[in-house]
Amino acid sequence: MRLGRVLQVILVLSLALAALAGAAFGGAALAVLQPELARSTAGYLAVASKAVARLPQPARAEGHGRQGADDGYVIDAVLGVDQVVAGQVTVTYTNDSTVDLDRLVFHLPRGVQTVTLEKLDGAQAGRDAARDGLTYTIPLKGQVAPGAQVTAVLKYSTFLAQGPRRQGISDGGGLWLINDWYPSLDVFDGEGWHTGEPAAAFGDYSFLATATYKVRLTTPAGLNAYAPYGDRGRVVATEGSAQTLAFEAGPVREFALVLTNEHGAVAEVGQARPTLAALYLAGHEPAARGALAAARKAIDTYSELFGPYPGPGFVIVEAPITDFKGVEFPGFILISSAQYEQGSGVESVIAHEVAHQWWYNQVGSDQLLEPWIDESLANYATALYFEKEYGPAAGRSVLNAGAFTLYRSRRAAYPESSVAKPVTAFATEEEYKMMTYGRGALFLQALRETMGDKVFFAFLHDLATRHADGYVTEKTIRDEAAAAAGRDLSDLFDLWLHRPDGQLPR
């Protein structure tokens, strides 16, 4: 549903984009296109694609993703009119496996409308690239050998939803949550590509490798940007009511950002690193200050437990979202306005989302196929935060409320369920949460009791630092836990993660 104010934004932006594309169209064509632009996606795409075509050819991605010394993304995109993002993404990827690559497999954003392969360097495209759901596969004729590098340039357009969700444009048009917005290479593990579809209504959307990013984005002027680690971007051009911003980031798990003209901001004073800021909506400054204080304590606690925080800054962004209490992105999180209004529980939401800066951003895991890994670690870390800050009784109480009660109260409804399964294998959000957040966190407590505190915390710290900018699977965790404990722990893993609920000892 499009409201009046958004229509205004759209109209203004139409004019801006038309102005941007003016050189290509000439004045006479603009007069014809403007009314068309204001109401049709096709009209917008015509202008946006011309605007994108005018952009300089992308340089090769630079920097250092996990896969290779100069792997990464270069993204040039225009966003705005009719809620469409149109752009070009250049992905440079080094085959770090020991086998030839016979294809490249991309994850597409949920709102994808069009995607085409523009150019391929380092390999020859095979028969036609094909899209299946949110997976886009480019077959390769000349295979990419181990150590060889390949660069693909895709053009694409994708739709941003409007409304109170973790991605999209707010009803008033003053807040843009830009995530899951570009095609990204799936993860190749040496045997196959990790592809997976997100569930319709819960869980995360993608699993990506860390990479470096160079991003150039044309947006409505007057919106302030907050990208990974609080990067505000650099204004490289303004034309009419459009601005073009440039960012560099990485290695990060994904490039997400927030654009806003609605927020007040508070920042922590002092020299501590990372720098902290919180963006709040009208009336919520005290809540934002409380969240800021909790975030500092959580970052300090987790830095001690899991190793250093991975970036220079961290931002808490209040958003009027109704689908999540909080959502994690590299270097920033969203927290729902409802959470601030409710008052209680803010500290545990902050502790949970901050923990994802280690378990998801720094240490990846397949959030579609093994969603329990980052969620159980973040949820258990929340209990650890309360334990370290307020004592063992507080830690137990948070584990009790956030995991045990959650799990126990619903278990009768899902007697055959288990923890370690893909997000789409959970029938409901309730089942997903009780297993991945609830029983998954209880598993970590059981692991701790089995290993003893000293060994368990050394194991967690090693897991986080050893796999920083990489990713872990259940097998990684199982093998490293066994090595740390000096004995096989398969029975414990099987019992807690794979056996149906009913077989868990009382």
For residue 326, the minimal CB distance to Zn ion (Å) is 7
Identify the bridge partners of residue 136 per DSSP, sorted by sequence position.
Answer: 106, 131
- CB 310 → Zn ion: shortest distance, Å? 17
Per CB under 5 A, 298 contacts Zn ion: no
Report the nearest approach of Zn ion to the CB of residue 369 (Å).
16
Spatial neighbors of 47 by CB under 8 A, at least 6 apart, are 14, 17, 18, 21, 25, 33, 37, 81
- Residue 378 as a binder of Zn ion (CB under 5 A): the answer is yes
For the bound state, the minimum distance from the C-beta of residue 345 to Zn ion, rounded and expressed in Å, comes to: 14
Burial-class residue 208 by CB neighbours within 10 Å (0-12, 13-18, 19+). Answer: buried
Site for Zn ion in 340-369 (CB under 5 A): none
What is the rounded CA–CA span in Å between residue 239 and residue 229?
27
User: For Zn ion, which is the closer residue by CB, 45 or 378?
Assistant: 378
Question: Candidates 113-121, 262-270, 373-381, 438-446 — which segment interacts with Zn ion by CB under 5 A?
Answer: 373-381
**The pair of three-digit structure tokens given for residue 215, joined into one six-digit string:** 């991003």
231 or 375: whose CB is closer to Zn ion? Answer: 375
Distance CA 138, CA 153 (A): 11
Contact between residue 277 and residue 230 where contact means Cβ atoms under 8 Å apart: yes
d(CA 167, CA 179): 6
| 35 Cβ contact list (under 8 Å, min separation 6) | none
Region from 11-19, 35-43, 73-81, 374-382 binding Zn ion, contact rule CB under 5 A: 374-382
Question: Of the two residues 375 and 474, which places its CB atom closer to Zn ion in the complex?
Answer: 375
Q: Which is nearer to Zn ion, 168 or 440 (CB)?
A: 440
Interaction between residue 442 and Zn ion (CB under 5 A):
no
User: Least distance in Å: CB of 495 to Zn ion?
Assistant: 24
Smallest distance, Å, CB 436 to Zn ion? 9
Rg (CA), the chain: 23
Pairing of β 332-336 and β 313-319: parallel
Stretch that binds Zn ion, among 80-88, 280-288, 370-378, 442-450 (CB under 5 A): 370-378
| Least Cβ distance, residue 433 to Zn ion (angstroms) | 10
CB contact at 8 A, 213 and 188: no
Which helix (H) or strand (E) covers residue 341, if one does?
Answer: helix 337-342
Contact stretch for Zn ion (CB under 5 A) within 312-320, 331-339, 372-380, 401-409:
372-380
CB of 137 or CB of 361, closer to Zn ion: 361
Stretch that binds Zn ion, among 175-183, 281-289, 375-383, 478-486 (CB under 5 A): 375-383
Nearer to Zn ion, 219 or 376 (CB): 376
Would you mind telling me the total number of residues written for the chain in this entry?
506
Output 375 or 469, the one with its CB closest to Zn ion.
375
Residue 179 vs residues 159, 176, 215, 436: alpha-carbon distances, Å = 11, 9, 13, 23
Phi then psi for 152, rounded to 5 degrees?
-120, 135
Q: If binding means CB under 5 A, how many residues of this protein chain bind Zn ion?
A: 2
Map tokens 């923990």 to a residue: 355
Closest to Zn ion by CB, 63 vs 331, is: 331
| Interactions with Zn ion, residue window 53-92 (CB under 5 A) | none
Task: Select the residue whose beta carbon is closest to Zn ion and give its number.
Answer: 378
Cα–Cα distance, 187 to 199 (Å, whole number): 19
Looking at the Cβ atoms of 325 and 411, the one nearer to Zn ion is 325
- Binding interface with Zn ion (CB under 5 A): 375, 378
